[in-house]
Structure 1
Amino acid sequence: MLPALCSARLLPLLPLLLSALLPAGCAGPAARPADPASAQVRRAVAAWSAAPPASLAGIPLEDWSYEVASVRRDGVRAFARAELRYRLAGYDAAPAGSAREVELAAEPGGHWRVTADRPAPGALPQLWDQGPVTVRRGAHALVLGGAGQGPETLDEVAAEADRAVPAASAAWPGRWAGRVVVLVPGSLERMAQLLGRPAREYQGLGAVTVGRVGAAPAAADRVVVNPEGYGQLTAEGRRIVLTHETTHVATRAATTATTPLWLSEGFADWAAYRDGAADPERAAPALGRAVRAGEVPGALPADAAFAFGGDPDALARAYEGAWLACRLIAERWGDAALVALYGRAGREPQESALREVLGTDGAALTRAWQEYLSRELGRRALR
Structure 2
Amino acid sequence: MSPLRRAVVRLLLPCLLAVAGCTAPAPAGAPEREVRRAVADWSAAPPARLAGIPLEGWSYEVTSVRRDGARAHARARLRYALAGYDTAPAEADREVELTRGAAGWRVDGDRPAPGAPPQLWDQGDPAVARGAHALVLGVGQSPQTLSGIAQEADRAVPAVSAAWHGTWTGRVVVLVPGTLDAMAALLGRPADAYRGMGAVTTGRTGPGPAPADRVVVNPEGYAQLSGQGRRIVLTHETTHVATRAATTARTPLWLSEGFADWAAYRGGGPPPAEAAPALGRAVRRGELPAGLPSDGDFAFGGDPDALARAYEGAWLACRLIAGKWGEATLVDLYERAGREPLPTALADTVGGDLAGLTTAWRAALRTELGGATG
So what's the TM-score if we normalise by structure 2?
0.91
Counterpart-to-counterpart distance in 1, 2:209 and 2:165: 13
Give the structure 1 partner of residue 130 of structure 2. Answer: 137
Gapped runs of 5+ residues in structure 2?
1-25
Per-residue deviation, residues 319-376 of structure 1 (Å, max 9, x unmatched):
0000000001111101111011101101111111111110111111101100000000
Counterpart residue number, 2:234: 242
Q: Which residue of 2 aligns with 1:202?
A: 194
- Residue 43 of structure 1: CA displacement? 1.0
Of residues 21, 28, 36, the one that matches 1:34 is 28
Using the TM superposition, name which of 64-73 and 320-329 deviates more: 64-73
SS in 1 for 2:372: helix
Q: Distance in 2 between matches of 1:34 and 1:93?
A: 40
Q: 1:287, 1:375 → 2: CA distance? A: 13
Q: Give the Å deviation of 1:116.
A: 1.8
Q: Deviations over 1:85-115 (max 9, x none)?
A: 1010110111111111000011014x01111
Any unmatched runs of 5+ in structure 1?
A: 1-31
Rate the CA distance shift 1:150–1:215 in 2: closer, same or farther, 3 A: farther
Give the % identical residues: 71
Question: Secondary structure at 1:379's aligned position in 2?
Answer: coil
Listed one character per residue, the Cα deviations across residues 145-200 of structure 1 (whole Å, up to 9, x for unaligned) are 02x11111101100000000000000001111100000000100000000000000
| Partners of 1:347 and 1:294 in 2: CA distance | 37
**Residue 131 of structure 1: CA displacement?**
0.6
Deviation at 1:217, TM superposition (A): 5.6
How far apart are residue 277 of structure 1 and its match? 4.1
Partner of 2:111: 118
Q: Which residue of 2 aligns with 1:98?
A: 92
Q: Distance in 2 between matches of 1:343 and 1:71?
A: 44
Number of aligned positions between the proteins? 349
Which digits, 9 at most, give the CA deviation of each residue in 1:29-52, with x for residues without a partner?
Answer: xxx952322111111111110000
CA drift at 1:379: 1.3
Q: CA deviation at 1:219?
A: 2.5
CA distance in 1, matches of 2:29, 2:65: 10
- Residue 334 (structure 2) pairs with residue 370 (structure 1): no
1:81 aligns with 2:70: no
Aligned to 2:326: 334
Q: Which amino acid aligns with 2:206?
A: G
Which residue pairs with 2:309 in the alignment?
A: 317
Q: Separation in 1 of the partners of 2:325 and 2:215?
A: 31
* TM-score normalised by L of structure 1: 0.89
Partner AA of 2:66 in structure 1: R
CA distance in 1, matches of 2:326, 2:309: 24
AA of the residue aligned to 1:61: L
Task: Give the Cα separation in 2 of the matches to 1:188 and 1:46.
Answer: 35
Report whether the alignment pairs 1:108 with 2:102.
yes
**How does 1:1-383 map onto structure 2 within 5 Å?**
33-109=27-103, 111-146=104-139, 148-216=140-208, 218-380=210-372
